[in-house]
Amino acid sequence: MHWVDRMKNRRENFLISGIVLIILGALFSLAVNIAMGGVLGLSGIICFFIGMSTPTELELSPEAVAAWEPSMERLPDAGRFMYRVDVTMDEPIKTTILCGPCGNLETVDGPRPEQYTCSSCDRNLWSLEEE
Ligand SMILES: [Zn+2]
């Protein structure tokens, strides 16, 4: 998920440039003049706060997606397997499937498929006829 990486990088960029500006500001106020250093230091602090306040909830790792909007379907009496399906709400639409029996986490493109067989343990987690 490239957009997630981009979001994370932007946050890090703000934090890094904030720190760099604060250090530069300190150096400038000592070596050049205090007004110049003050401006740099202040913009560094602003940068740092922007970086800090960038929402981290946007970083959706597969684990976060799995923990988000849980829809665990547990029907052990019917002899079916436990699984969890999460579909992203934003483009690109991806479906994350957590296989209960083996714990395999797989991401497929598009909305929830009509039937799914775990690629790791070959168990049929659901199919349309059973719904
Ligand atoms: Zn499996």
Ligand 1 centroid to residue 91 C-alpha, Å: 26
pLDDT class for 118, splitting at 50, 70, 90?
very high
Q: Which residue has the higher pLDDT, 66 or 129?
A: 129
Please tell me whether the peptide bond between 101 and the residue prior to it is cis, using omega within 30 degrees of 0.
Answer: no
Q: Which tens digit of pLDDT belongs to each residue from 29-52? A: 778 888 888 888 888 888 778 777
- Judge whether 113 and 95 are in contact, CB under 8 Å: yes
Buried b (16+ CB within 10 A) or exposed e, 86-101: bbbeeeeebbbbbbbe
The DSSP string of 66-96 is HHSS---B--GGGTPPPEEEEE-SSSSPEEE
Q: Which tens digit of pLDDT belongs to each residue from 90-114? A: 888 999 999 988 889 999 999 999 9
Ligand 1 centroid to residue 51 C-alpha, Å: 39
Ligand 1 centroid to residue 83 C-alpha, Å: 9
Residue 55, pLDDT score = 63
Ligand 1 centroid to residue 127 C-alpha, Å: 15
